[in-house]
């Protein structure tokens, strides 16, 4: 923290509730170092890692997600916020693993074969992590096999595919057909997205949902996971 400004906020002097509110603001402004500091202060104060994740980080990213959805924030700001979130997550991840925190869900995501666009996909990855999901990002130009192998290896719940070209869109169906062929289509929630897609296309290829942006992807993934947990509890 710089000491040249008179009104500098000393994070360690804030009570817990004010510190969490300040972390919401810092996340919103994409201040990575402040978020890391805030996470460490809460840990020192005896907060459980999972509580910090849900109350401070996911709480803050929810505001970012809502404002992104409503057109108040734009991609550059969201990427900054997500990067700040990543700073906090890097501290919490090993601790969460130790404490066996409840798992929201796990997503394998990647851009489809022939397509090298990744800004939208990266945004979805970051927002999903911001919502507490584990995300395995396969990058760009993925053949069906790389999706299938990753889903199996990672014991994933959700498959996310993105395409930005009308020419690569149909490959999404190739991947879904491969899941059907192997008899494992129903094991996963398949979410698709990308500028040229729409809801009709998502239905036509057999995806569970088309997500028009990262905020919608997170909401949709949460809804599907809640249903899955309820079915498991009922089963």
CA neighbor of 147 nearest in space, from 129, 174, 169, 127: 174
Please give the tally of structural domains in the chain.
Answer: 2
Helical residues (DSSP H) of 131-210, grouped into ranges: 144-154, 171-181, 199-205
The CATH number linked to 53 is 1.10.1240.10
The range of the structural domain enclosing residue 56 comes to: 10-102
CATH number at residue 173: 3.40.50.280
The conformation of residue 52, written as its DSSP 8-state character, comes to I
2 within some domain: no
Contact 210, 176 (CB under 8 A): no
Nearest-angstrom CA–CA distance, 162 and 169 = 8
Same domain, 84 and 119: no
d(CA 113, CA 142): 4
98: in domain: yes
Q: What is the pLDDT along the chain (235 residues), one digit of tens a residue?
A: 544 444 678 999 999 999 999 999 999 999 999 999 999 999 999 999 989 988 999 899 989 988 988 999 998 998 899 899 989 999 998 888 787 777 789 999 999 999 998 888 988 998 888 888 999 999 999 999 999 999 999 999 999 999 999 999 999 999 999 999 999 999 999 999 998 999 999 999 999 999 998 888 999 999 999 988 788 777 7
Distance of CA 6 to the CA centre of its chain: 37
What is d(CA 195, CA 130) in angstroms, rounded to the nearest whole number? 22
Return the structure tokens found at 198.
């729409």
């Amino acid at each position: 923290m710089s000491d040249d400004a008179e009104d500098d906020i000393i994070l360690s002097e804030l009570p817990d509730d004010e510190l969490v509110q300040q972390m919401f603001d810092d996340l919103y402004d994409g201040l990575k170092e402040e978020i890391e500091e805030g996470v460490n202060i809460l840990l020192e104060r005896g907060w459980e890692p999972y509580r910090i994740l849900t109350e401070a980080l996911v709480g803050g990213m929810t505001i970012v997600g809502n404002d992104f959805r409503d057109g108040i924030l734009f991609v550059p700001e969201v990427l900054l916020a997500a990067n700040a979130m990543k700073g906090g997550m890097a501290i919490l991840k090993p601790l969460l693993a130790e404490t066996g925190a409840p798992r929201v869900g796990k997503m394998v995501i990647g851009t489809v074969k022939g397509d090298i666009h990744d800004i939208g996909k990266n945004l979805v990855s970051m927002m999903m992590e911001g919502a507490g999901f584990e995300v395995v990002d396969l990058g760009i130009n993925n053949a069906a096999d790389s999706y299938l192998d990753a889903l199996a290896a990672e014991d994933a719940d959700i498959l996310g595919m993105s395409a930005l070209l009308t020419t690569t869109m149909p490959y999404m169906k190739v991947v879904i057909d491969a899941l059907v062929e192997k008899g494992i289509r129903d094991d996963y929630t398949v979410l698709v997205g990308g500028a040229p897609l729409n809801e009709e296309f998502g239905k036509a290829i057999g995806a569970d949902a088309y997500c028009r942006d990262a905020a919608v992807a997170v909401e949709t993934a949460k809804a599907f996971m809640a249903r899955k947990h309820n079915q498991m509890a009922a089963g």
